[in-house]
Amino acid sequence: MSDALLEIKNATKIYGGSGFMSKGNTTVALQDFNLNIQAKPATITTIAGESGSGKTTLANLVLGFIKITSGQVIYKGVDVATMDKRQLMEYRREVQAVFQDPYAVYNPFYRVKHIFDMVLKNFKLASSKEEGRALIEDALNVVGMRGEEVLEKYPHQLSGGQRQRMMVARAYMLKPRLIVADEPVSMVDASLRAMILDIMLRLRDEHNISFLYITHDLSTAYQIGDNIHLLYQGSVAERGNTVRVIENPKHPYVQMLIDSIPVPDPSVRWGGEEVTTLDDEQMRAMVESGCRFYNRCAFHMERCLTKAPPMYAVGGEAEKLTHEAACYLYDPEVEKVAA
Ligand code: ADP
Ligand code: MG
């Protein structure tokens, strides 16, 4: 019996290619992805990467919204693909989602309380109306709201920040062990962003809820993340303790990203031509066997094209298991030859 809450083993998702017309038109959205979230203590694991790097694909795999091409998503020791009805029910209750645009989740014709009533009903959380109401109120309090302020309103009458906090409250009602939050703060302004990130930290510390926090923004990752996995075109370039990775990046791609951030500026994000080029999409198709960063890497070697680099431990002895980079620069065999 492992003490992992969630394990992802060699998860690969390839879009297209199943129909006879789609030959040659496939996208490897996620490749050989591995992750381990311990049951205790609760942690925030960040998945970071620029647009198109495979973050939402990973979220959708964990939430069971799309079918995995190969590999496994394992929850409390059981492969999600082999779960029976009861196990699936528990999984759907304990693993909740918060999305970038909470408006899309609400039905505009119903008052906001409807979304909470549905949760109470679908998961049979309360045996009386009063009990249900108390659960809703408790959940709203956790995100700093009160029922009388919001429940009778329609979704469009709430601010984006209120809608997002209510989605967190809705998730909280189910007493989840894990919340998959896909860019939860990228559509709200800076002050609300801080508030929502703070709620996440409190849920982690006071309610033992772990997060898979998905973002294209390294500064929020730095603020709240325990561990980070940096994706580049569907593959992990670097992973480890968030502070170590961001303060001392090892993969040439991650170094480039972080060097391009003027250090104390917390508002810097990805995007823009500098990092994303058209060539990348072509590279994604072309470099099936090698490192995806090859054509932009100042340090590339011949071997980078023949076989994608595995994860190598980087940093000192003490950091060994908590900081790794997928780059041949850190191949210990090569170091020996050079010495
Ligand atoms: P991110 O969330 O990091 O922006 P995604 O996981 O949405 O990235 O996308 C990763 C890659 O997979 C992109 O190249 C995207 O175009 C492709 N992709 C995503 N969803 C689909 C889909 N339903 N069908 C085909 N390709 C998709
Ligand atoms: Mg996305």
Q: State mean pLDDT over 129-140.
A: 95
Read off φ and ψ for residue 179, nearest 5 degrees: -115, 125
Q: State mean pLDDT over 313-334.
A: 82
- pLDDT tens across 261-274, in order? 654 444 444 444 34
| Among 38-52, 124-138, 246-260, 313-327, the least confident range | 313-327
- pLDDT tens across 91-111, in order? 999 999 998 876 777 788 899
pLDDT of 180 reads 97
In this predicted structure, the answer to whether residue 315 has a pLDDT above a threshold of 90 is no
In this predicted structure, the answer to whether residue 243 has a pLDDT above a threshold of 80 is yes
Q: Nearest to residue 181, comparing CAs of 162, 196, 161?
A: 196
Q: Nearest to residue 34, comparing CAs of 18, 49, 45?
A: 45
For residue 37 the two structure tokens come to 């979230």
In this predicted structure, the answer to whether residue 208 has a pLDDT above a threshold of 50 is yes
Closest ligand 1 atom to residue 60 Cα is 6
Task: Determine which helix (DSSP H) or strand (DSSP E) holds 229, and give its type and residue range.
Answer: strand 227-232
Specify which residues 178 forms β-bridges with: 95, 210
Residue with tokens 């062990």: 177
Specify which residues 12 forms β-bridges with: 70
pLDDT of 198 reads 94
pLDDT of 160 reads 84
Closest ligand 1 atom to residue 182 Cα is 2
Q: State mean pLDDT over 233-243.
A: 95
Please give the Cα distance from 239 to 250 (Å, whole number): 10
β-sheet with 4-15: strand ranges across: 27-38, 4-15, 70-75, 78-79
Q: State mean pLDDT over 218-246.
A: 95
In this predicted structure, the answer to whether residue 338 has a pLDDT above a threshold of 80 is no
At 277, the pLDDT band (50, 70, 90 cuts) reads very low
Share of the chain above pLDDT 90, in %: 69
With the most atoms of ligand 1 within 8 angstroms of its CB, the residue from 57, 69, 101 to mutate is 57
Arithmetic mean of pLDDT over the chain: 87
Please give the Cα distance from 336 to 57 (Å, whole number): 39
Ligand 1 contact via 159 beta carbon (within 6 Å): no
pLDDT of 321 reads 64
pLDDT of 322 reads 85
pLDDT of 328 reads 96
For residue 176 the two structure tokens come to 């989840």
Q: State mean pLDDT over 176-183.
A: 96
Residue nearest to atom 26 of ligand 1 (CA): 15
Whole-prediction pTM value? Answer: 0.89
In this predicted structure, the answer to whether residue 275 has a pLDDT above a threshold of 50 is no
Ligand 1 contact via 235 beta carbon (within 6 Å): no
Q: Nearest to residue 7, comparing CAs of 212, 176, 201, 308?
A: 212
Among the bound ligands, name the one nearest to the CA of residue 57. 1
Ligand 1 contact via 57 beta carbon (within 6 Å): yes
Burial class (CB in 10 A: 0-12, 13-18, 19+), 267: exposed
| Among 19-33, 104-118, 142-156, the least confident range | 19-33
pLDDT of 188 reads 83
At 59, the pLDDT band (50, 70, 90 cuts) reads very high
288 CA from centroid of ligand 2 (Å): 22
Residue nearest to atom 20 of ligand 1 (CA): 57
In this predicted structure, the answer to whether residue 281 has a pLDDT above a threshold of 80 is no
With the most atoms of ligand 1 within 8 angstroms of its CB, the residue from 13, 21, 27, 217 to mutate is 27
Specify which residues 323 forms β-bridges with: 240
